[in-house]
Amino acid sequence: MKLFSFPAASLEKAIHKRVLTLPSPHKEWFTERWAQKPYKKAFVENKAMPLVTLVAKGKTWDDATFAEAMQDWDVTFYEAEAEVLRPLIQGDGLLQLMQKNLPPERVQALLDKLTLRRDAIAAASTTSPEAPASQGQ
């Protein structure tokens, strides 16, 4: 979904700023992955930038176009990722002008997308062999 060109460096700076205020254990989880260049690149390109596009274009698109873009954006969010991205939807300084006229139902649709995916991961992780590692061992 490359319909909007937003400076990746500005987006990375906003993400880094948000990470500083994340509560534990989200901060540790995200910081560890953010330090890895492949993860950082994939997160910006596949999760953060499409979210910015949906926020920016979502106020002018018709309902069908917005719904199609939401459906095409098939990504899975971990809880820490959702915590990082939520302010980009709700009103972080970086995007306030873009968020200003975004219809409330579209804001809610974006927030639901973060939550829906996060809930699916939580359900799957209870049966995952990685689950014990998150208990601080």
What's the domain range around 51? 8-124
Q: Would you place residue 42 in the very low, low, confident or very high pLDDT band (cuts 50, 70, 90)? A: very high
The reported pLDDT for the residue numbered 35 is 93
> Which of the residue ranges 63-77, 93-107, 118-132 has the most confident prediction, judged by mean pLDDT?
63-77
pLDDT in tens, 85-124: 888 887 655 455 555 667 788 888 888 888 875 555 555 5
Whole-model pTM above 0.75? no
Residue 134 domain flag: no
* Pairwise CA distance, residues 126 & 118, whole Å: 13
Residue 3 located in a structural domain: no
Domain membership flag for residue 81: yes
**Residue 131 within a domain:** no
Q: How confident is the prediction for the chain on average, in pLDDT?
A: 77
52: in domain: yes
Secondary structure (3-state) at 129: coil
Place of tokens 């992780």: 125
Q: How many domains does the chain have?
A: 1
